Amino acid sequence: MADVYKDFMELCAYEPQEIDKELPRLKKAFDRAGLTEEDVKRGQGRLVDLFQCDQFRGMRLFMGGWVKPFVDYILSKDEGKVRLFVELPQAFMSCFLGAAYYARKDIVSGLPTMTLMQVMGAIFAKIDNVLEWAEAGCMPPGLAHCGCNQLKIGVRGLGIMPTADLFMSCGAYCDEAAKADEALQQLFKERVYWLNRPQDEPWDEPVAQGRRLDAYAEGHIPLREMLSEVVGVEVTEEMLKQNFKNYVELYAENRKLAIVRAFADPQPLRGAAWASVWMQVMCNQGGGWQDYRMEAQRILHQEVQAKIDRGEGVIPKGAPRVMYAAFLPISTPEFGRVVEDAGVNLAGAEDLGTMAIDPVQMGAMMDLMPGTMLFALIWLANPYITVPGRAQGMIKAAAEFNLDGVLFCPHFSCRIYGSDFVMLKEAFRREMPELPVVIVDTDIYDRRYYNHEQARTRLESFAEVVKTAKAAKEAAKV
Amino acid sequence: MDAMEKLSEHLRSRPVELERSQKEGKKVVAYFLGDYVPTEIIHAAGAAPIGLVHGGDPEALDASTHAIFRYICPFARAQYGYWVLKNQKYFQMFDLLVSPTTCVNLRRTTDMYNFFTDKPIFKLGVPQPFDGDRAVNYFKGSLELMKEKMEGLTGNKVTDKKLREAIDLYRRMRDLLKKISELRKSPQPPITTTDFVWLNHAAHLADPKFMVETLDSLYQELSKTKGPERKAPRILVSGPNIAMGDYKVLDLIEDCGGMIVVEDIAEGVLFYWENVAPDGDPIAALTDRYLMKRPNCAFVRPIIDRHFDFIHNLAKDFAVDGVVWYQLRLCETWSIESYFIAEKLKKLDRPYPMLKLESEYDVSDAAQLKTRIETFVDALRVGSR
């Protein structure tokens, strides 16, 4: 039995001596999550088939970058750690809380639900019971409640993960996330701090300014004070800056690979693998995880580049290159595989054009602002707040990367990342009418919300459409 | 009720009257409901405030499908659908739309107006958490910006004097609505809640001076009247909003033998329960009323305990037997809130039963709703407090 777990741990880049030390912890955490030996066997297969852990050490490190904190989160209360949590959509704020690492090392910070989704959803395909716990209570089925928010509640209700000592909530433009955080307060007496993220930007304001920035930054100050109180040591503006720098550095490294991958032909790294890497970077809590993830990122980059140089890919050379948005379904990584098996290269996500983080610009600001202000600025720079901002970014990326099509996979129930795809499609029709754009209903968290076989039919049709469009484009050039 | 008839007549001619005044240079300013937009500022600028109160119409939802997915709240989708249908003049005629940044559903509707129409929009920044001075300062700043926007639109300066006059007018409107509302504390309420909610809808559309005169006459009339003697369970209806035209659930409750005596909705107590202070800095007074004194809205965080206290007090004041929670399907924050309110009502020393209903402006669910409401009303009869 132990070999199954050890093999699994090897695929997640645990070192041999680390396996001996960590195996009891991992088994304890997996038991609590209801993961059996059978699940672990199945997970091994998925790590290879969907996430290419047999081909890339970088991917093994990144999958370990989910599994190791998953174990830490589950055991954090037993082990007496200070727990500082956030959840989507404010992934970036994990880095704010993670700054506490520079004040005190025995903290566990980050996004436990996203981590759970990546481990129990993507690797083990076993999260329905967590969703059902929330459905039996305050988030009933049939009312388009978001799976991410249901998981946040279900995972505590089932006792898989403990409550936080401090939970940072803002909801940003997602009301349900903030409301679910109030449910955490009501159900589990969790300590929640809500940030007010102003949302009244004019449509032509790319980065929020003036009173919006001031008000948002002001809200971070009591959060820093509360954070200091919870960890028992002052978390300074300098610590925040250090972790902000960590975030920007990792993002910059990730961005380099994003660009390499976007032009890769043939494509060596599958869409699902890339989506998992990207999400981990977005959710990076910095602190004690910074060096690990920077190494993972650099190794993966080298490995992918080497394959490109050798002309090795998992998608045939010359395949149409497509951008997807917003995310590939985490709980069904097979979704991307269907498109790829039909001969389409999932070259990148919408963040090729819509992420407003400019590492150089951010680096220059670092010395000019307090840490709290930097965090406010970066989050306010998020383009999702307005449909035109998001549309412009995507259209720009489609042109710059010379893409052959766009695949919108809105996740059912998401009012922020999902509901505006009809408008975004219309924006493409106005600006790039020749580019095939298809919407395929899915869900990022909850596989029960869509039918994979129906999606397969549509994805295969989409593949044919983009191949034909690409052939026509090339013929026109000749 | 002569006053109600006169008001109906006024509303019938209101769009034509507004068009006429637009030709003479008056501006029409529409706003989304939820009770975050101070109509006083619009009125003080010499513009006509018009609340987009319509809903309940499945055609308006169908008309929005080219622009948005289904899992946005039906009321929010309808607010854009009516613009597409062109069958409600208010949705076509406005010179500016004031959109408060409240729930994500209405924010998406605002995006649709921005994307598919050339209508000018002003986003009114509303803070979501109750975090004291920060929220107050932010909202106060938003109202200052709104005032500037109105001045720019109309060319009229919004002086403190004009603003106080407008505040005074709307104070009278709210006072009268509250007085009429409180007549329903009687065992024989002289007005049904469906009619009373309609009055609230009318208040968002009618000329405010006419509305105040009408309410005054109506109050005089109703305060001398007693409703029919009925042995009916007294019901509080709570939920996000009930649009003009979405009277299905109210009608069903009455048809099934229940007596709705008070409504905890945006087009009800939220509108009239708290008033603006008549003195001091008018923008500060408006901030206090529209942000801090308001009883509820589920997107505000945290709000459940405060909302529960409000419902509980209303239930006691109006001698209620049970609560019907009516919300539109896909309204995510109210759905979560309903669970906790029901649990808290259940745990009281003298618990209140709560029935949760969802609908989506769909006529086909009326029979199912009726069965559930009948059962609930019967149960209340048996276990009457």
| pLDDT of the residue at A357 | 61
Q: Which of A179, A388, A416 faces B301 most closely, judged by CB atoms?
A: A179
Burial of A417 (0-12, 13-18, 19+ CB in 10 A): buried
Alpha-carbon distance B140 to nearest alpha carbon in chain A (angstroms): 12
Q: Are B134 and A218 an interchain contact pair (Cβ–Cβ within 8 Å)?
A: yes
Q: Are A211 and B138 an interchain contact pair (Cβ–Cβ within 8 Å)?
A: yes
Q: Are A140 and B335 an interchain contact pair (Cβ–Cβ within 8 Å)?
A: yes
Question: Token digits for A41?
Answer: 């066997």
**Is A174 strand, coil or helix?**
coil
Burial of A166 (0-12, 13-18, 19+ CB in 10 A): buried
- Give CA separation, B292 vs A6, B133, B176, B286, in Å: 57, 10, 22, 10
Output b/e per residue, A174-190; b: 16+ Cβ within 10 A. bbbbbbbbbbbbbbeeb
One pLDDT digit (tens) per residue for chain A, 478 residues: 569 999 999 999 999 999 999 999 999 999 999 999 999 999 999 999 999 999 999 999 999 999 999 999 999 999 999 999 999 888 888 999 999 999 999 999 999 999 999 999 999 999 999 999 999 999 999 888 999 999 999 999 999 999 999 999 987 779 999 999 999 999 999 999 998 888 888 877 655 568 888 888 899 999 999 999 999 999 999 999 999 999 989 999 999 999 999 999 999 999 999 999 999 999 999 999 999 999 999 999 999 999 999 999 999 999 999 999 988 888 889 889 989 999 999 999 998 887 756 666 777 777 778 888 888 877 776 666 678 888 989 999 999 999 999 999 988 888 887 788 999 999 999 999 999 999 988 877 777 877 778 888 888 899 999 999 999 988 988 7
What angle in degrees, to the nearest 10, is found between the helix axes of A57-75 and A2-11? 120
Q: Which of B104, B124, B340 faces A175 most closely, judged by CB atoms?
A: B104
| pLDDT of the residue at A383 | 60
Q: Which among B241, B289, B293 has a CA at the least distance from the CA of B264?
A: B241
Alpha-carbon distance A423 to nearest alpha carbon in chain B (angstroms): 6
| B329 contact residues in A (CB cutoff 8 A) | 143
Of all residues in chain B, the one with the smallest CA distance to A186 is: B340
Alpha-carbon distance A203 to nearest alpha carbon in chain B (angstroms): 8
Residue with tokens 């004019």: A202
Residue with tokens 């939802």: B61
Question: Token digits for B351?
Answer: 């618990």
What's the pTM value of the predicted model, to 2 decimals? 0.95
Of all residues in chain B, the one with the smallest CA distance to A213 is: B138
User: Can you spell out the DSSP letters for A221-261?
Assistant: HHHHHHHHHHHTS---HHHHHHHHHHHHHHHHHHHHHHHHH
The rounded mean pLDDT for chain B is 95
Question: Token digits for B298?
Answer: 């589920």
| pLDDT of the residue at A206 | 58
| pLDDT of the residue at A57 | 98
| pLDDT of the residue at B197 | 98
Question: Token digits for A139?
Answer: 């988030």
Share of chain B above pLDDT 90, in %: 92
| pLDDT of the residue at A360 | 63
Q: In this structure, are residues B97 and B150 in contact, taking their beta carbons and an 8 Å threshold?
A: no
Among B101, B106, B109, B332, pick the best mutation site for testing chain A contact (most A Cβ within 10 A): B332
Average pLDDT over residues B248-255: 97
Of all residues in chain B, the one with the smallest CA distance to A211 is: B138
Among B123, B137, B138, pick the best mutation site for testing chain A contact (most A Cβ within 10 A): B138
| B126 contact residues in A (CB cutoff 8 A) | 200
**Is B36 strand, coil or helix?**
coil
Q: In this structure, are residues B46 and B23 in contact, taking their beta carbons and an 8 Å threshold?
A: no
Q: Which of B128, B142, B329 faces A178 most closely, judged by CB atoms?
A: B128
User: Can you spell out the DSSP letters for A185-216?
Assistant: HHHH---EEE--------TT-SS--HHHHHHH
Q: Bigger pLDDT: B52 or A385? A: B52
| pLDDT of the residue at A454 | 81
Alpha-carbon distance A411 to nearest alpha carbon in chain B (angstroms): 11
Among A186, A386, A430, A441, pick the best mutation site for testing chain B contact (most B Cβ within 10 A): A186
| pLDDT of the residue at A377 | 78
CA angle (B184, B186, B188) in 5-degree steps = 90
**Could you tell me if the ipTM is greater than 0.90?**
yes
Of all residues in chain A, the one with the smallest CA distance to B142 is: A200
Of all residues in chain A, the one with the smallest CA distance to B73 is: A415
**Is B94 strand, coil or helix?**
coil
